[in-house]
A and B are shown apart, each in its own frame.
Chain A
């Protein structure tokens, strides 16, 4: 993955120098290990700050909406699907974009790394091929990347960008068959009381910081329903029912649009696995409409079209 850093820098420099784009969006190395930050550059001389490794889990498509200039952007599989979604939803025009694709090998779950070093302070992480070396004040350990992938990356079926102007590497092989929704199926089999317990516990730690919403490229409304006060759709307190309402509605707003990029879970300061909400909706979209978000520009999303044979058994 590291090898892409140089290629990204070269490409960004070229695009900015040739004035093919006005701004280039990529990642830079974070000020603390495992936390790479988004970086927008307009000056080709600053291209050397761009960076790429297995900790680029934030979704850069967040920075596309409402822009009117020409943008160069680095994308992996799931981020490219978010670009498709943005184009379908008229948030950006294809002509504005120069998409630099990277065949993704998955992002490393920083929480899993922290757990494996018993939450001790990590000072540095060096990646070497399939492994990475974690260094702290009084320890050094080597781990295998494959065992530390984010949950959504481990079950990813779209590593390669679906839309791009330029690819920086050979496409990686997509897994033939992945059991995507095992966890969702397990919940589906529970009785209502256990489901209630599961989801109540799941969000019990939520502090309503809305980091999940802010990190999500799908959330681009000028005023989010949780911020609105006239009318006030949902209570703003930490009351469990209000919190639950927020999570339900946030998930519903992502129905048929979520690419399971995992940015929401990655940024949650409390480590809440809120993908359990969106995953169920993704599964329903798959089961009922054979739809996966962001794969093609030629088809309207399921919640956007009406067909006489749409699933409607629930309407009496």
Chain B
């Protein structure tokens, strides 16, 4: 996805077991912070239909 223009840091992959609550919190916070730092996404966002 980065190849087609999604900024690095906007897309995350993680494997978290249902027993890994702590890891889930860490990853979720980490993702949220990183994406916040990038600011609102402007690319590949469907705002409204541009054709009737």
Q: Do A241 and B3 have beta carbons less than 8 Å apart? A: no
Q: Number of A-B pairs whose CB atoms are under 8 Å?
A: 51
Looking at the assembled complex, report how far the CB atom of A115 sits from the nearest CB atom of chain B, in whole angstroms. 27
Whether the Cβ atoms of A280 and B3 lie closer than 8 Å is yes
Report yes or no: B13 in contact with A314, Cβ–Cβ below 8 A.
yes
A241 B45 Cβ-Cβ under 8 A: yes
Residue from the list A196, A239, A240, A316 in contact with B5, Cβ < 8 A:
A196
Q: Given the complex of chains A and B, what is the CA–CA distance between A197 and B30 in angstroms? A: 29
A315 engages B49 (CB within 8 Å): no
Main secondary structure of the interface of A (DSSP, over half): helix
CA distance A197 to B50 in the complex (A): 18
B39 to nearest A CB, angstroms?
A: 12
Chain B interface, number of residues (Cβ within 8 angstroms) = 21
Chain B residues with Cβ below 8 Å from A314 are 13
Our pick among B3, B6, B12 for the contact of A188 (Cβ within 8 Å) is B3
Interface string of A232-244 (1 = CB under 8 A from B): 0001011111101
Give the contacting residue for B46; candidates A187, A238, A239; CB below 8 A: A239
Q: List 21 A-B contacts (CB under 8 A).
A: A192-B5, A192-B8, A195-B2, A196-B44, A197-B5, A199-B5, A235-B49, A237-B51, A238-B51, A239-B49, A241-B44, A241-B46, A244-B4, A248-B4, A277-B4, A314-B13, A315-B13, A315-B15, A316-B14, A316-B27, A316-B30
Chain A positions near chain B (C-beta within 8 angstroms): 187-188, 192-193, 195-200, 235, 237-242, 244, 248, 277, 280, 314-316
